[in-house]
Structure 1
Amino acid sequence: MKITECSVVEDTKVKIQFDDGKILTFEDCWLRDNCRCPVCYDANLVERLAHIVNFPDVRVKNIQNLQTRISVTWTDNHVSTYDASFLSQFDFKIWEQSRRLSPVLWKGSEVVSKVARVEVDKFLNTEEGTKEIFQSLLDYGLAFVENVTPTIEATEVVCNALGGVMHTNMYGGMWTISTNLTEHSDTAYTNLALKQHTDNSYFSEPAGLQIFHCIEHNDGTGGESIFMDGFYGAKKLKEEHPKDFEFLSNFQLDAEYIEDGHHFRLLAPVLKVNKFGDVVHLRFNSYDRTPMAFADGEECRSYYRSLKNLAQYFEDPQNQFVIKLQPGTVVAIDNFRVLHGRAAFTGKRILCGSYVRRDDWTDKARVLKLIK
């Protein structure tokens, strides 16, 4: 890419035209802040060296077009150069859209033929296999790694490859789930059915991924896992009950978890929406809601109406993907998006798994150049 023209306009802006016809205008303060010279920027550390508190009040003294880059001399005689390829990235609309995720919404069992199912050796040892799993998580919030040895140790290897085991002072790192209420005071540690929910609604930083591996189910039936695309449910709510969508995007719901030695609590909206109106984070767990005080009767009734309307999409069997997890199959779900539940069961059933922080799994996705 080359620069065909560059000039100072209105004293404080630099206008640049590229050989593809694109024209971008940069404020002089932006250019100075993004100077890539060794005094201002360390290319090896990929970090700025100049601190904002020392940001100089300067103007462009001279600008020179070197075709593949421009050279700017400032009024304090500092000289900066900018490559055309660097500057062309900052067309605002393109830059903004490039950082917007594009989840593929799904309904019920239609996701079966789309979601990735990758052999463990391929996932762990090839870039192709790794990309398949992470792209599936980005697109559908769901991915399966198959032929994993049904042990907690083998499952941990997969969890680490997905971004690393998330440690908490309550759950630890790797965990097992069985009908043992002495481990945690939680419905998950029973054989009862579980309605659709996300985990950690009482954490300020909930798990990014939830990993499940059924390593044993003997002498019993049931226990099917049920998954649902929460973003699809939120979309339906927005279309059919826009006032409820608006309410759940703004109202701070109180959630908590209490057991001996622990008390977690958080106020947060059920739906986190970005500037485009996209839902980027869903917190929904009917079990963890606390009794709340309301400003007035209208707010109270809006709370119950909107939660019920949203939950109806989550509990509609047509919207759910049901699967019986077998030893050897590890499933990873995006806990910011995909809800999970469980059918009641009999017999001895043991699941193992872990959480993975969102920052850690999206870090892997960026290294694979799947997102920016």
Structure 2
Amino acid sequence: MNTSVVDCQKRLCPLRYLPRQPLSDPQASSQSASCVATSACESSALSFKRQAVRRSITPEFAKKVQSRSQVPVSRRSMRLQAIRPLRSLLHSKTTVSSALRPWGARGFASALVDKQVEGERITKVAELASEQAVRVTFEDGATAKFHKLWLRDHCRCEHCMHPETQQRQLDTASIPMDTPLHRLEVTDAGDAVAIDWDAPVRGTPCTASEFDAQWLRDHAYALEGGNAEDEDTAPYPKSYRQPRLTTQQLWAGADFQLPTHDYNKCVDNIEPLMRDLYTYGLVRVSDTPNSMEATEKFSKKIGFVLRTIYGTMWTTNPTNDAEGYNDTASTNLELLHHTDGTYIRDPPGLQIFNCAAQAGEGGESRYVDSFHVVETLRKENPEAFRVLSTTPLPYFTVDNDAHLATMEPLIRVDYAGNVVQFRHNDYDRAPLTHLSFEEVGEFYKVHRKLLEVLRRPETEFCMRLQVGDMMIVDNQRVMHGRHAFQGGDRALIGCYIGRTEYESRLRVLGII
């Protein structure tokens, strides 16, 4: 069977770290996937080699990829079930060539899946010599302006973009600042722009580039007219933009319905849990074995367990004081709302708590969506939001022969002003000696405004964990805490997962 479609995706987007997900009926799913894959492969096999050259894939590489057909159908089926962005590859509206196009973002699975064959078309292209630019006019009337240096720097041919590693080969600094064009035209089909350059640059013999119309539309950074107003604007460069299949929903505790997933079902398919985790920043897993081994095994389905000064896996209970841990979490005292690892330059992305034992009285867990809090603050007191998002605060910890310290704002926003991280832990805040007298007074004023919003009764979601409950918390978004407790040995088994690992898993699953 021709398995070029699946194997090409596997080659261009290595996902070997993905746990393969067992099928409830492997034989039935295998047969179904076989029929679909056969149909898709047969319909596109004839045009595979012809399209490969135009799509910046060498014929040699295409032939090599086509020859790799050793993956059993059942494994391909499992891979397709695990990776949402690659599913559309098996439908007739997506061509092999569009899947093979080198997008220059290794591992971004959803970026490898092109839009439908009847996608973007270009009607006109013109050089704007005075601006060192090229203006592209699309079929819907939208126009995009690209700097000539940007186009030369982003050539997708097999010389400028390695066809196997998908890594850039040309040396950007060697591109002439005034790079002349010898040819600039739209292809006969209107699906690409062809450019001939004056001379090759360091790292590549290339003197000609061809840019697919859909690729230019997706990566346009100066787009006007047509349907441009309806297109998504991402809070990061469009060249790294992923389709936002899931939207984050901010919540207040009074109206929050905690998403709950069964442990055994998550072991087979973790995608629904991950979707809820991204959406709300907080999920509960029920019927979880109360052992460190089970907690670690489950955590690794999301990503590698993060090693900190406390190791990889840890427990929170009062006996830890005698074992050398120096943290308020290892007492029976009340813990106010906070995020963990504020003293780490890149705080943990996720925190996992598995309730192994509960106290006799008290010990209720408390959660607050900090994104909801800071957006409320931004609306009610823009100046307080500005100060807290621009004033770095010092955090530190000294423990286990380690001294960690950092200075970062409590609220972190991206270049577009979107909140992307919240860092708050007054337990670990160091003395404020870096601010002027006036700035100190201003800080305490806006800090109080923040806590006033944070501690509104309707903001908090509170629940008493039961043995077998495992909470997964987005540590850079949702604050956690607890009420004081008495009696019993309240113990939580936990660990951290890095932000990079977490977001990588979301992309692989097609959630972001």
- The normalised TM-score by structure 2 is 0.67
Asked if 1:201 corresponds to 2:322, the answer is no
Q: CA deviation at 1:333?
A: 1.0
Match of 1:121 in 2: 264
Q: Alignment identity in percent?
A: 32
Equivalent of residue 172 in structure 1, options 304, 311, 320: 311
Residue deviations 1:6-36, cap 9 Å, x none?
2222263222222233221211111111111
Match of 2:196 in 1: 73
Partner of 1:104: helix, strand, or coil? coil
Count of matched residue positions in the alignment of Structure 1 and Structure 2:
364
- Which letter does structure 1 place at the counterpart of 2:122? I
Equivalent pair of 2:235/2:415 in contact (CA under 8 Å): no
Q: CA deviation at 1:186?
A: 0.8
Equivalent of residue 25 in structure 1, options 108, 122, 145: 145
Q: CA deviation at 1:294?
A: 5.3
- Paired with 2:494 and 2:400, the residues of 1 have a C-alpha distance of 23
Asked if 1:185 corresponds to 2:326, the answer is yes
Provide closer, same or farther for how the CA distance between residues 164 and 249 of structure 1 changes in structure 2, counting only shifts above 3 A.
Answer: same
Match of 2:69 in 1: none
Partner of 1:195: helix, strand, or coil? strand
- Which letter does structure 2 place at the counterpart of 1:64? E
Equivalent of residue 91 in structure 1, options 209, 220, 226: 220
- Paired with 1:48 and 1:37, the residues of 2 have a C-alpha distance of 10
Q: CA deviation at 1:355?
A: 0.6
Q: CA deviation at 1:60?
A: 1.4
Q: CA deviation at 1:337?
A: 1.0
Equivalent pair of 1:73/1:79 in contact (CA under 8 Å): yes
- Which letter does structure 2 place at the counterpart of 1:61? H
- Paired with 2:293 and 2:277, the residues of 1 have a C-alpha distance of 23
Out of 176-185 and 14-23, give the one that drifted further. 14-23
Residue deviations 1:157-195, cap 9 Å, x none?
221112221112x11111111112134111100011100
After TM superposition, list the pairs within 5 Å mapping 1:1-372 onto structure 2: 1-10=120-129, 12-57=132-177, 58-66=179-187, 67-76=190-199, 78-92=207-221, 94=231, 96-97=233-234, 99=236, 103-112=248-257, 115-126=258-269, 130-168=270-308, 170-180=309-319, 181=321, 182-217=323-358, 220-293=360-433, 295-346=435-486, 347-371=488-512
Equivalent pair of 1:294/1:300 in contact (CA under 8 Å): no
- Which letter does structure 2 place at the counterpart of 1:81? E
Partner of 1:86: helix, strand, or coil? helix
Equivalent pair of 1:63/1:71 in contact (CA under 8 Å): yes
- Paired with 1:328 and 1:260, the residues of 2 have a C-alpha distance of 30
Root mean square deviation of aligned Cα: 2.0
Partner of 1:201: helix, strand, or coil? coil
Provide closer, same or farther for how the CA distance between residues 288 and 295 of structure 1 changes in structure 2, counting only shifts above 3 A.
Answer: closer
Whichever structure has more helix as a proportion of its residues is 2
Unaligned runs of at least 5 residues, structure 2: 1-119, 201-206, 224-230
- Paired with 2:428 and 2:435, the residues of 1 have a C-alpha distance of 21
- Paired with 2:400 and 2:272, the residues of 1 have a C-alpha distance of 41
- Paired with 1:22 and 1:79, the residues of 2 have a C-alpha distance of 25
Equivalent pair of 1:196/1:228 in contact (CA under 8 Å): yes
Provide closer, same or farther for how the CA distance between residues 311 and 299 of structure 1 changes in structure 2, counting only shifts above 3 A.
Answer: same
